[in-house]
Every structure is written in C-alpha cells, then in structure tokens.
Amino acid sequence: MSDYIIRGMAADNQVRFFAATTKDLTETARSIHNTSPVATAALGRLLTAAVMMGAQCKNDTDILTLQIQCNGPIGGIICTADAKCRVKGYVNNPNVILPANEKGKLDVAKALDLGVLSVIKDIGLKEPYVGQTQLVSGEIAEDLTYYFATSEQIPTSVALGVLMEKNNTVKQAGGFIIQLMPFASEEIISTLEERLNSFSSITAPLDKGMTPLDIIKQIFEGYDVNVTDEIPATWYCNCSRERYHKALMSLGPKTLSDIISDGEPIEVNCQFCNSHYIFTPDELENNI
C-alpha cells in the first residue's frame, strides 16, 4: 500500500498543510463500485479530501463525513474517514457518462451541478457538528475552499485530482490542503497566492514521480517546511455481519416479524463496500 498523507507547518508556523497521494484507495473505490471515469474522479477527489480532513480528528473514535447532495446526474457522493486515515465512500450513480469539458478534462462540475456540501464531524457527542455550504463550482476543491472560508473562517487553498489511465483505471490521485494561521504575514499571503494561482494540477507532478512532500516544498520554496506526521491512508469499511444483525434487531419485534413472515432470507447490502450479508428467518426469529 503506497497511499499516505503528510501534515505539518511551514514558513515559521504561519501555514498548516496536509498533502496526500491516494491512487490505491481511489482505484479500490473504482473497482468496488465500478465507477465511470467522471464518477471515479468525483469520488476520488472527495475521498482524498476526507482522508486529509479525517486526519484532523482528535480521537480515534471520531468520524468525519463529507457529503454532497446535488442536482447533477451523479446524484450525490458520501465519504467517511477516521483519525487513522481510513476512508470509504460511494456515489449515488456510478454509471454517469459525460463529454469532457472545454479543457478536455473529466467534467466533474457538470456531474455534480448545483448542490450542497456538508461536513459532518461526529466526535461522540449527542449530535454531530454539521457545517453546510452551497457548491460554488462543483469541482469539489473550490467547494471545500469556500466551505473553509465561510463555515470555519480559515483562508484555505485546496487542490484535489484524479488522473485516469487509458483503460479507465486510476493512474494518479492526490491533493493538498493549505491553511493560513491567523497571524500569517502579508508577505507569505501574497507569495502563496501567486504560487497557488499558477499551480494547475496536483496529478501532473505526482505523475512525474514527485512525492506530496516534494510538491509542498516546491510551493514553499525559500521557506521552512516541517512535517509532523506521515500516516498511511487506506480504503477501509467497518461493516460486518454482526453490525447488520444488530441493525436489523434494532428495527423492533413487529417490523422484524413482518420482514421474516414470508419465510425468505433477508439480504442486506453495504452501500460503502458492496458486501452482501444474508440472514435466514431462523437467525432473526431466534432473537425476537
């Protein structure tokens, strides 16, 4: 497994950064959900963002979810990550096919169209924290930049990308999140603005063999860069037979006996990883 994220501080602690390479987990998502190229790009971008934002969770049990509900043909995307950089996700319509946009790129914006981005942080309290913003471009990176600016008041630059092979498997995937600390100087702000404006693709340098750290060092050329963590990032679904059994049990005796009254086995599918779990009426009946 070669996916990982780095995080750290740069330019005298004036800037915080996360950077990730996520090719393997994006390819795993693609093969599980059999996503079309544009759906793979959209899912891979959101998975990459989730894995970097999940790394900000303070406790091992905290869960970060990024959800996009939208009018475009993809219908919606949901990705969930934890503090250990384990991530899972799916799109509502994995088969969406669209012509390339005017730049010749996969048209993620058109696949999403208008919609809402929700950032849900479940830190074990009664209610999770939910921040919501409208999609501003549907390209996901810009939408997250807008979320950070309006919902968290943190000036942020987000880059996310997925590059496909000719055979529609994933060639490269990755991203970064760069955030200004409140005391960042005008000098570093304008330098970064200039450099990030001319930064066009995260997958191009990855494809040239550059690491996430190489890319961060290039952006911060002339400044110090301190990596505090390097964490392996993986595709992971925490579903299990026991979990689904418990979920069925929680439906209550009345609903449960209705479900099993026809004597047929019950099949439950995990939307995140496509695992199928089959329960016989006997298995459920014994628990009523």
Torsion of CA 165, 93, 175, 31, to 10 degrees: -50
Which residue, 176 or 277, has its beta carbon nearer to Zn ion? 277
Q: Rg (Cα) of the chain, in Å, rounded? A: 21
Pattern of binders to Zn ion over 227-256, x per CB under 5 A? ----------x-x-----------------
Asked if 87 is part of the footprint of Zn ion (rule: CB under 5 A), the reply reads no
Which residue, 189 or 270, has its beta carbon nearer to Zn ion? 270
Residue type, 267: E
Residues in 34-63 that interact with Zn ion by CB under 5 A = none
Q: How many CB atoms sit inside 10 A of residue 1's CB?
A: 10
**Residue of 128, 122, 36, 25 whose CA lies nearest to 75:** 36
Residues in 179-238 that interact with Zn ion by CB under 5 A = 237
Asked if 78 and 66 touch (Cβ cutoff 8 Å), the reply is: yes
CB of 83 to Zn ion, least distance (A): 19
Coil, helix or strand for 180?
Answer: strand
Residues in 255-274 that interact with Zn ion by CB under 5 A = 270, 272-273
Rounded Cα–Cα distance for residues 32 and 271 (Å): 10
Which residue, 46 or 239, has its beta carbon nearer to Zn ion? 239
Rounded Cα–Cα distance for residues 135 and 53 (Å): 18
Which residue, 50 or 225, has its beta carbon nearer to Zn ion? 50
CB of 88 to Zn ion, least distance (A): 7
CB of 163 to Zn ion, least distance (A): 27
Which residues lie near Zn ion (CB under 5 A)?
A: 237, 239, 270, 272-273, 275
